[in-house]
Amino acid sequence: MKGVLPLSVRRLRAERGRAPHTSRCALMRCVKRLDGLPRWKWSQTRMEQNGLRHLTTGREDPPKEMKKKSVFLTWRCLGFNLALSLPLLYFYLLQCEKKKKQKGKGQIGLTQVEYIGKPLIGGDFTLINHDGKVVTNEDFKKKFCLIYFGFTYCPDICPQELEKQTIVIERIVKKYGDVITPVFISVDANRDTLAQVKHYCSSFSDRLVGLTGTKEQIRRVAKLFRVYYNEHVVGEEQTEEQTEKQKERQTDTQTEAQSGDPPRAPSYNYLIDHSIIHYLLDADGKFVDFFGKNCTTSEMVERISHYVDLHLQSGAAV
């Protein structure tokens, strides 16, 4: 309607005491100019030029003191955050540097091994050593014991692991004396005779004690140590490496027969999948640690030395 002024103009008239005085004609020209534009285009400069600044805001600018106070609060918050974050950053960098030093000294392997609870590994067992004597777990107490399960016809894994075990034992003995006994337990009752086990162990070390037994005895001791093993038949096709190893075994069998040793058991055409783990027992015959295939000789020596040191610090003799 032509006779009705816009709401903004009526509000301006109500606040005429605070707004600057303008003529009616100038006011109407401003209103017509602004009515054709969106509200977001009503710039503050245009409104100030026409004396209509209060149409958009309805209030004056905040005083300068309030702006100064806001800036002061911002700087204070920044200083407070810095006061909290800088000590935390320093502590984090300090811990990183400490871990680097520990790694450089070779101590990081000990800090990464943690156990929750006591694993149920080990127990009483009865087997036969490579000299034909019946032995039990009691015969291996008073010294640390490093046990490995395998079989003498293993083409690659068992020889590698027993070589590693031999190196570890030599380093421990050189450092502490005769404080540990290496043990090899066969899981192949069909082929690993006493003579075969004795010959196999002597090829690695004179300290290595070979144990075997009946199928039931081996099954029981493997269950105590949570060892998995399973026989599987080898196909007719063989690799060149397997053929060479078979020839070497036949040659060794002939040599034993000529020397008067009991011959080996007949060679059955199968292999055995089994766990590749070394088990460490303390001087009381209790399980304390294990070492997998990926564990290096240096790591094994370091961790075994840790347990030997603890045992010696307690005042017990080995």
Annotated binding site, which residues?
A: 154, 158, 274
Question: Which residues sit in the known binding site for Cu cation?
Answer: 154, 158, 274
C-alpha 254/C-alpha 278 separation (Å) is: 32
Tokens standing for residue 193: 């005779």
Side-chain-facing half-sphere of 183: CA atoms under 13 Å: 25
C-alpha 153/C-alpha 191 separation (Å) is: 8
